[in-house]
Amino acid sequence: MVVKNATVCDVNGQREVDIRIEEGVVIEIDTDLHCDETIDAAGLYFLPLLVDTNVRVQDSSLNAKNIKDLSDEALAGGIGHIVLNAQSTPAIDNEIVLEFAQNGLHDLKGAKVDLMLNALKEDNTLSNIAILLKRGAVVPYMSTIAKNDVAIKIAQYTQMYGVTLFCKAEDNSLINIGVMLEGDVSSKLGLAGIPDLSEVLHVSRMIEIARHFNIKILFKAIASPRSVLLIDKAKKEGVNVTCEVSIHHLSNSDEACKNFNTTAKLNPPLSSKEDMQFLQEALRAGKIDILTTLHQPSSPLNKEVAFYDAAYGCEGLKDAVSVYYTKLVKSGIISMQELVSLCVKNPSKAIGQSAGEIKVGERVNAMLFNPDKKVVMDEKLYLYCGEELYGKIEQIFN
């Protein structure tokens, strides 16, 4: 098969070339290639499939069906590799649950699925990190509700195995007092707020742990501008820390919670409009390393209730590439090449893998993306429901 006239865009930039594919492998990249089976891709992007390292299964309920459904939905949305968030029910914090989850990975036909381990058990004591890593978990995950002595032990295991620590910065005593960001919108709605200090305090703490133990930390789903500045400053000082932000926090503010819209009840909570604009500028300036859909789907039973009682999270996989393209690339915040780095190269690197380059000899994990076609979001429990977005996937090669 030859894909002709495509605009190939990967971490190396973009160029208009033909791609010859045989038995799922890129055999040749050149101009004026010919074959009996040809796809005319003029005007289309040939992009690597995306990687997302922060997604959850339906209602965070860990079972084989939910894993399969998630895998299928991810691939249909242009995401070829996902890492399940460790905060599931049951949590992946022991060998039995890890094996149970791994049994759900057999014979998947959608996106590749990897598992992270929860470094904390339900009682906030240490899980068996060494055994879980040896048995196939790709990275440890911790919430900063961990006390200092436990956090230090987790850091030591991270150092020993040379993996990246996925870290959710949050203060247990503060996140439990509110349901959205503390600010003008929460006051007008009469809803208890969570101060952004909940995140900032623990970003600062974990930066110092990363500095002391010389370990890699990826801060998950950052929402506070102050956190971004702290992480960026630490990077310049040689500390091996990186910053992940969700597309929702880059394109929505806490104003989306007006009228008690439970679809906008996220964890971390959506920022103010001014902070959202700061995050966009930080992305443009290269201070954000990784993007995520922060896919956390809930059944209507858990969302179509009072705001205070509603589950956190919203859907994010359906038409993910269209959302990224419309909100970030077409709007001029970043280029398509930068999007590939943020959504393919950098998240892969965080789990010790390599992706984002389309080259001869590699298996083809790519999509044909039409930037001119429009799609209308019709998922009710999706922040962009009813919006007209630009870009549609025409074909997936996997």
Checking if the pLDDT of 89 tops 90, the result is yes
The CA distance from 388 to 372, in Å, is 12
pLDDT band (50, 70, 90) for residue 159: very high
| Domain assignment present for 265 | yes
Residue 6, pLDDT > 90, answer yes
pLDDT digits (tens, 9 = 90+) for 45-78: 999 999 999 999 999 999 999 999 999 999 999 9
Burial bucket for residue 215 (CB in 10 Å: 0-12, 13-18, 19+) = buried
**Looking at residue 273, which CATH number applies to its domain?**
3.20.20.140
Residue 184 in tokens: 């003008």
pLDDT of the residue at 318: 87
Closest Cα to residue 320, out of 224, 398, 273, 251?
Answer: 251
What are the residues facing 140 on neighbouring strands?
117
Evaluate whether residue 343 is within a structural domain: yes
Give the bridge partners for 26, in sequence order: 21
pLDDT at 379 over 90: no
What is the C-alpha separation between 269 and 182, in angstroms, rounded? 9
Please report the pLDDT score of residue 260 as a whole number.
Answer: 96
Tally of structural domains, the chain: 1
Mean predicted confidence (pLDDT) in 308-314 = 95
Query: Rounded to an integer, what distance in angstroms lies between the CA atom of residue 298 and that of residue 181?
Result: 20
Residues facing residue 314 across a β-bridge: 295
- pLDDT tens digits for range 323-354: 999 999 999 999 999 999 999 999 999 999 99
390 has a pLDDT exceeding 90: yes
Does the pLDDT value for residue 380 go beyond 90?
A: no
Position 331 scores a pLDDT of 96
Please indicate, yes or no, if residue 368 is contained in any of the structural domains.
no
Q: Is the peptide bond before 268 cis (omega within 30 degrees of 0)?
A: yes
What element of type H or E holds 310?
Answer: none
Instruction: Give the model's confidence band at 381: pLDDT under 50 very low, under 70 low, under 90 confident, else very high.
Output: confident
Using alpha carbons, select from 365, 355, 344, 337 the residue that is nearest to residue 26: 365
Residue-wise pLDDT for 13-24, tens only, equals 999 999 999 999
Residue 267, pLDDT score: 95
If pLDDT is split at 50, 70 and 90, which confidence band does 141 have? very high
Render pLDDT for 197-219 as a digit per residue (tens, 0 to 9): 999 999 999 999 999 999 999 99
pTM: 0.96
Residue 29 falls inside a structural domain:
no
* Whether 18 contacts 42, CB under 8 Å: no
The whole-number pLDDT of residue 102 equals: 97
Confidence band (pLDDT; 50, 70, 90) for 309?
Answer: very high
In a domain, 25, yes or no: no
Percent of the chain with pLDDT over 90: 95
Give the residue with greater pLDDT, 173 vs 104: 104
- Judged against a pLDDT cut of 90, whether residue 176 lies above it is answered with no
In a domain, residue 190? The reply is yes
Q: Are 253 and 246 in contact (CB under 8 A)?
A: no
Q: Are strands 388-397 and 366-376 parallel, antiparallel or unpaired?
A: antiparallel
Return the residue matching tokens 């094996």.
Answer: 99
Q: Confidence class of residue 239 from pLDDT cuts 50, 70 and 90?
A: very high
32, exposed or middle or buried, with CB in 10 Å at 0-12, 13-18, 19+?
Answer: exposed
Instruction: Name the pLDDT band for 105 (thresholds 50, 70, 90).
Output: very high
Determine, yes or no, domain membership for 319: yes
Q: Does 377 have pLDDT greater than 90?
A: no
Q: Report whether pLDDT(180) > 90.
A: yes
Full domain range(s) for residue 253: 49-356+374-389
Which DSSP helix (H) or strand (E) runs through 70?
Answer: helix 64-76
User: What would the mean pLDDT of 282-311 be, rounded to a whole number?
Assistant: 96
